[in-house]
Chains A and B, each alone.
Chain A
Amino acid sequence: MRLLLEDGTELVGRSYGAQTAVAGEVVFNTGMTGYVETLTDPSYKGQILVMTYPLVGNYGVPAARPSPSIDRPFESSRIQVQGLVVQTYVDHHSHHAATRSLAEWLKSEDVPLLSGIDTRLLTQKLREKGTMRGFIVPPGDVEEGRRKARQIEMRREVFRAVAPKEVIRYPGGAPKILLVDAGAKDNLVRSLLERGASVIRAPYFADLVELAKEADGILLGNGPGDPKDLVELIDQVKVLLKDYRRPIFGVCLGNQILALAAGGDTAKLKYGHRSVNQPVQDLLTRRCYITSQNHGYAVRDASLPADWEPWFVNLNDGTNEGIRHRSKPFFSVQFHPEASPGPEDTRYLFDDFLRLVSAQRS
């Protein structure tokens, strides 16, 4: 099997997953563990994922979870990436919870796995030239593969593909949180439920203003793609920002949506942040945290209106990692406080959010 990049690069590797032609934006992730979480993260929808850690598959994959379950380590009900590219695929997995190998899982969901690629070199290329489109094509007629792969291309449809079809309600205690889902990870739901909240998980196209009336707070979840494509969602959030009095918390895509709704701007990063070792600093407390990240766009600090301020900054490249309203309880972060995969340093943000929600309720 081959990986073809739009700059003409052609890499040959061994195939372990499905023998399917796919196309997608080729992105790299530097996490050393967490392939199950990463592959099911809806933010990767439409992308071909390159892992820089050379050995992938070590601990296998647990059994598929039954339908309505949102249990770990899966972050959605299916594999979201278009294809997976690794240095060395390890078939002999070893873990008490594993029931199948990574390749078996990928095959069962019709996702190709390309092994034997120098992913460090590939990453350097993506870093220097920026994220590129690419194709994974099975041996045989490359042009045919390319054509087939192109058919499954998508852009605005990406959000539809990962959002729930309708509102899902997860019972719990008070408070009640509205989770806006344009590809939200299941761990956002788990993070709220674990803390005793109940969750209304609504697709981004639902009538959010209406649903917000019964919620004590809103969580704008993560998702794939370019935030500017979510025009209707941005419009709905604009309304909420004007009228809503209760806390709104954004995560990843939620950070970008909040910024755009507030009148700010976002820009595409050259190769994005996709790793579990991103250092960020809270600009108020100067405390630093290691965070899990997965985004290709960032909020432009300078574009923020006067009543908003940057909250977190990335210590590596100085890009925006969070914003907050100067007076209202609206705030968001670009990283993933829910982790999974990645470090749990910023899980406290859910505590803070729910504390604020409860305080407003009473």
Chain B
Amino acid sequence: MYGAYIPKKPKRVLILGSGALQIGQAGEFDYSGSQAIKALREEHVTTVLINPNIATIQTSENFADRVYLQAVTPDFVERVIVKEECDALLLSFGGQTALNCGLELESSGILDKHGVRVLGTPVSAIRDTEDRQLFIERLAEIGIKCARSKACRSIAEAKAAVKDIGLPTMLRGGFALGGKGSAVIRHESEIDERLKKAFAGGVPQVLVEEYLGGWKEIEYEVVRDFRDNCITVCNMENFDPMGIHTGESIVVAPSQTLTDEEYQLLRSIAIKVIRHLGIVGECNIQYAFDPKSTDYRVIEVNARLSRSSALASKATGYPLAYVAAKLALGYTLPEIPNSITRRTTSFFEPALDYLVCKFPRWDLSKFKGATTHIGSEMKSVGEVMAIGRTFPEVIQKAVRMLDIGGWGVDPNLFPAEDLEDALRRPTPLRIFSLARALKDGWSVDKVHELTGIDRWFLHGLAEIGTMHKALSGVRGSIDPSMLRRAKELGFSDQGIEKVTGVDQLEVRRERQAYGIKPHIAKIDTLAAEFPAETNYLYSTYHASSTESAPTNKKKVMVLGSGCYRIGSSVEFDWCCVNAAQAASELGYETIMLNYNPETVSTDYDVCDKLIFDEVSFESVMDIYEREQPDGIVVSMGGQVPNNLAIRLHRQGVRILGTSAESIDMAEDRSKFSALLDRLGVDQPRWAHLTETSDAMALVEQLGGFPVLVRPSYVLSGAAMSVAHEPNELMRILQRAKKVNSEHPTVMTAFEVNAREIEIDAVADHGEMVLWAIVEHVEDAGVHSGDATLMLPPQTIPLPTVHKARKIVAQLAKELNITGPFNVQMLAKKGAVRVIECNLRASRSLPFVSKVTGNNFVSEAMRRMLGVRRPVQNHALDLDYVAAKVPMFSFPRLTGADPLLGVEMASTGEVGCFGDDAHEALLHGLLATGFRFPEKGVLLSLGPLSDKYSFTDEARAVADDLKLPIYATPGTAEALSSLDIPCTVLSKTPGEGLSAMDAIDQGLVDLVINIPRSYDELGRPDGYLIRRRAVDAEVPLITDPMLARAVIEAMRWRQKPASLRILAWDEYLQRSPMALR
């Protein structure tokens, strides 16, 4: 507005990504990184990105000028800085991974050495926020109160700290224990006992903190430019009070229970703190706020884009990451146009005329042994955001969006055995216990006493309960005014069906007859004060007219992937965004429907219309009827939209690509198996189970144990398990019944020692257009999402490849596929057996697209829209190898057994390239936290066959890697008999030097543990060793094939320096398929 003042514009900016998705660091950084890259490109600054997460949008073509798919570690980053001659660094867009790496580079002098400037917030300010002690001191300088906390190493030290801080005091165990042993000391008499307990078992460090339990938890997102202009974009209030990590909390924005005086008090402090620290760009400040006075404590400042800032961005429409990137270049806020209104500037604070509710999604039940309680540690794997105009409306929407089988805040759902305990000790399902208690007549005050949740929120839940009661009294048709009220309170048609027994389609017909329909409202950042050209929309039953009229253009609607969870995350967002872009290139208007604030698909500039709302049958129908698109895309967003296909089809909705009948044919286990039989395609023997009592007979038919049990219509192997013996089988069947009692359960003979291969393909009216074959490093039995994938395949014989391809082509024809699909197969002794076929984009589609240089999604979308262009397929003819390596978040999941099986457990993945399989694998492993061992390797090999078949590798460890081997007794015996030297370690604690001791003492820095058998709890042997390795962050390998591949790779390339650093396009240029 007053002329850009750019101090010194950088030429080549290096951006650090956040790597694989993991708990606490998820898709939000794809959003922030891509926005930053867009902002920089507009300024004609060359961008170089390091991020091994191959499923992200930011690592796609047409984003950064150069992409390095490799680990964000100081040594690799330095090599890229040198190679690319970068003169500036952005480190606040890639989460804690990028920030930590940047700090390390700075403190070791590497940035200075190469003349690299850190853009945005200065490193000194970052340090002030990262170091607890410095932070408290800096805030004390301006008289701002922090939660007092002291890290203590001894009981005596802790005692002094308790005295100093005063009672009540909170004790928290150091990181190694994962929040275990946290306790509150309320009385003088408890001090000794509680401290003794906290330090028990050799805990090195205990944090003694001021107790703020029950205080409100409030956050502000703050933006500041280098000229000291400063604004708060949004504030948020946690539904769950202090004590539950903000990432684990239900959150609303804006705050609901603060008066203006309180709102402004915290806002003013935020600005004061951020100015004092000297942040340039975006940051987040968290407070604890006393509900009984105006007392506060600053908890922390995140001097970078965070999960909260992604949420705030989506909650307000203010493009925080984009603005932060511009500020880092030296722009001031009034110089940056407001991209929503396009009339005003970025120096303003959004006014909301709606509210949003964020709800975390957990998958704790997927992990054997993990605690199901939530608290001060983050364990959630995704989140949803609901937009509406009342609290009941948004909380009910949010619960549905979680996709955990809840059709709203229904008091009858997920009943707790002990209601009071369920309220007192939060679990992921507490919301239903709250609803139950309030419906059962527990007073708001009592529930407030038990939970600390503000009465305001509880009254909102009670309103839902009241309507629930009223609806349950309905006989026959529902009174229109009651129906309207129910819809305004966020009840879905299905929810109304569950209470009243009136079929949801009938509910829908009735409400439409009464004119009860949701309306679409705009998110314009300033509550309608100025006209805005925004395309950011949501639906609500509180609006009295729709603001966004449908156009007459030809258009497609893409259904998003919804909530991130184990088995469905950023890869499907990549597919949706690419699908929308491909449709847009063909001249279609694009409508995106999604509700996940961590995604790029929910960015306002990805499509022509963004409807931030539920992806459910009801909402899709409501929007479809209003917008009348030419077609709906259900095949790009994973299982959430895929599951809607049949029902939408029955209502006459035009579904693009493969027909709904074909989708059903592939999804329904028994239909699909029958189809394979008809085609004469081999498949593992299977049987359809209706009565549990038949189970043993069926096992006999299948040729005995082990057998695989799986229900239909599931993603990522939910409730899918392998049974090795009758008792285990019975347990699994019970569980499967709970998950899905409507669809049949299928039992399959479980193949051992078979290779697993997958083909990702695109077909057009049954003709294969594109295909790529990947091979699992692990033998079949490890879920494909947890397996290490190689493209092109490394050990599969050519005849097997041809056979597999032929089967896939046959399936494409038979199911008349148009669009993306994926087939999983077993290969053993020349035979190929089909395990599964999904007529939708698969998890590995971004990987195969980027490795082959052929965008499978764009091609699929074009075919679905009837556009045929000749394409070349070169999936086998590559001059390099790529590995897709899973990322696990076991350290975050206290107690969980870090063991792989048929049910998926990984939270993310990376995809890395190399000249050969060894290099690709090592790059991939390093990018998921693996470190080359330098001290010793612990071998604990399960079955006798494994012990002996591992001989060559063990010898390689000793002879080539020249590392000492430690082994558990059985393994040691086998190694000794082969003259391989090793040190024997016991498996049980307290019996001499144990394997766990060796890990703790740092004697070993690689653990290879192949589980042998299962204990009486169904818990495999060696749990303690695996868990200790995870807790000590020592690399752990539990699969024999992977272990073999890793050791072989390290024989050839013994340290990170021996791995080449090449950009993605440099690899692609070596393939016959040039990057388009």
Q: Which residues of A line the B interface, CB within 8 A?
A: 28, 30-34, 36-37, 52-55, 58-59, 72-73, 87-88, 90, 92-97, 118-121, 123-124, 127, 275-279, 281, 286-288, 290, 315-317, 339-345
Contacts and interface: CB of A to CB of B under 8 A. Distances in A.
A55 B540 CA distance: 14
Contacts of B2: 286
B322 interface: no
A274 B577 CA distance: 39
A142 to B, nearest CB: 20
Contacts of B531: 127
B1065 to A, nearest CB: 42
Contacts of A127: 528-531
A88 B257 contact: no
Interface in B243-300: 254-261, 263-264, 267-268, 271, 291-293
Contacts of A93: 456
B333 A288 contact: yes
B849 to A, nearest CB: 42
Nearest to A289: B229
B117 interface: no
Contact of B264 (A118, A120, A121, A339): A339
B455 A92 contact: yes
A95 B259 contact: yes
Contact of B259 (A73, A90, A118, A276): A73
B344 A316 contact: yes
18 contacts: A32-B254, A34-B263, A52-B527, A55-B390, A58-B256, A73-B259, A73-B260, A87-B389, A87-B542, A90-B456, A93-B456, A277-B349, A281-B334, A287-B228, A288-B332, A316-B348, A340-B260, A341-B264
Contacts of B528: 28, 30, 52, 120, 123-124, 127
Given A30-B529, A94-B456, A118-B543, A58 B257 contact: yes
Most chain A CB atoms below 10 A, which of B254, B343, B347, B545: B347
A54 B391 CA distance: 10
A35 B443 CA distance: 28
Interface string B512-546: 00000000010000111111000000000011110
A73 B231 CA distance: 24
A37 B256 CA distance: 17
A93 B263 CA distance: 16
Contacts, number: 163
B229 A59 contact: no
Given A97-B259, A279-B334, 7 more contacts: A34-B263, A92-B455, A93-B456, A275-B529, A279-B349, A288-B334, A290-B347
Contacts of A345: 271
Contacts of A55: 256, 355, 389-391
A135 to B, nearest CB: 20
B260 A34 contact: yes
B1 interface: yes
A57 B317 CA distance: 25
Most chain B CB atoms below 10 A, which of A55, A93, A344: A55
A290 B263 CA distance: 14
B350 A54 contact: no
Contacts of B454: 94
Contacts of A34: 259-260, 263
B227 A88 contact: no
B228 A52 contact: no
Given A55-B391, A343-B267, A118 B257 contact: no
A54 B456 CA distance: 15
B351 A343 contact: no
**Cβ-closest 10 pairs across A and B:** A34-B260, A92-B459, A94-B456, A30-B351, A341-B260, A30-B527, A52-B527, A118-B544, A54-B389, A33-B260
A94 to B, nearest CB: 4
B352 A290 contact: no
B258 A33 contact: yes
B548 interface: no
Given A54-B353, A124-B528, A88 B542 contact: yes
B455 A290 contact: no
Contacts of B816: none
Given A52-B351, A53-B527, A315-B334, A58 B456 contact: yes
A94 B291 CA distance: 10
B29 interface: no
A343 B222 CA distance: 14
B810 interface: no
Given A30-B353, A52-B527, A36 B259 contact: yes
A127 to B, nearest CB: 6
Contacts of B334: 279, 281, 288, 315
Contact of B231 (A52, A54, A290): A290
Given A32-B254, A342-B264, A287 B229 contact: yes
B526 A30 contact: yes
B527 A315 contact: no
B545 A121 contact: yes
B890 interface: no
